[in-house]
């Protein structure tokens, strides 16, 4: 109740109250009609009536798109109620695997600058994404096959960062690899089990 009493009127509410007061005073002959002859006056109540009629005529667009019907996982215009993640096919050793976009760290780089370079590599210059924070959200460690291990290099670490695509218009994208946009429940169709376990730890539905 206190919040209601202390709350402020919106501009529209103030306009409506002022118009109601003017109408009341006119009815009581306290205010001459100062509107120009023939001038159309749009009252706040008229606007509300118009908005109400527009609402009654409104019909929401279907949630199921053509990309959903075709199961086109290269399209962002699908699964509109879910967050989609970019997967790219990359060559790791002798295998071609579906992975979250990644690039090898170069000496002198921060982890974040490596992420920025990886995104530029896969998304091109026309598509922008916003990276969240300077620290990784997760890490995945794995060992190389015995045949390629060395005394100083027995495995690798993959650091995961979160980024949000800031444009859904990919008409100018220059994706240079095979790619897919998938929901969390579809990751199991592409990622290897151990990699998927690590990814699922920091992904939210």
List pLDDT tens digits, range 40-56: 667 888 888 999 999 99
Please indicate whether residue 30 or residue 94 has the higher confidence score (pLDDT): 94
Closest among 79, 86, 77 to 180, alpha carbons compared? 86
Q: Are residues 95 and 42 in the same domain?
A: no
Residue 35 DSSP class: S
Average pLDDT along the chain = 83
Token duo for residue 65: 């798109």
Q: Where are the beta strands (DSSP E) in the chain?
A: 85-92, 95-99, 129-131, 138-143, 155-160, 163-165, 179-182
Domain span at 17: 1-57
C-alpha–C-alpha distance, residues 123 and 165, integer Å: 10
CATH classification at residue 85: 3.90.79.10
- Give the chain's domain count: 2
Same domain, 73 and 170: yes
Say what the pTM is.
Answer: 0.65
pLDDT tens, residue by residue, 118-172: 888 887 766 778 888 899 988 888 887 777 778 778 888 889 999 888 875 665 4
- Give Rg (Cα) of the chain: 29
Residues 12 and 52 in one domain: yes
């Amino acid at each position: 109740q206190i919040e209601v009493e202390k709350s402020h009127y919106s501009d529209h509410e103030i306009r409506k109250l002022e118009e109601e007061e003017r109408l009341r005073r006119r009815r009581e002959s306290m205010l001459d009609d100062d509107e120009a002859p023939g001038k159309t006056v749009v009252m706040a109540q008229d606007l509300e009536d118009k908005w109400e009629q527009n609402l009654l005529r409104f019909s929401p667009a279907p949630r199921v798109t053509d990309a959903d019907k075709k199961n086109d996982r290269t399209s962002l215009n699908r699964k509109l109620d879910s967050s989609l993640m970019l997967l790219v096919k990359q060559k790791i050793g002798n295998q071609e695997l579906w992975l979250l976009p990644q690039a090898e760290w170069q000496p002198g780089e921060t982890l974040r600058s490596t992420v920025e370079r990886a995104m530029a590599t896969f998304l091109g210059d026309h598509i922008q994404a916003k990276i969240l924070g300077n620290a990784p959200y997760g890490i995945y460690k794995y060992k190389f096959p015995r045949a390629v291990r060395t005394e100083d290099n027995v495995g690798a670490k993959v650091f995961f960062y979160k980024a949000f695509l800031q444009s859904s218009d990919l008409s100018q994208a220059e994706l240079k690899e095979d790619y897919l946009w998938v929901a969390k429940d579809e990751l199991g169709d592409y990622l290897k089990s151990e990699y998927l376990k690590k990814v699922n730890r920091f992904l939210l539905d």
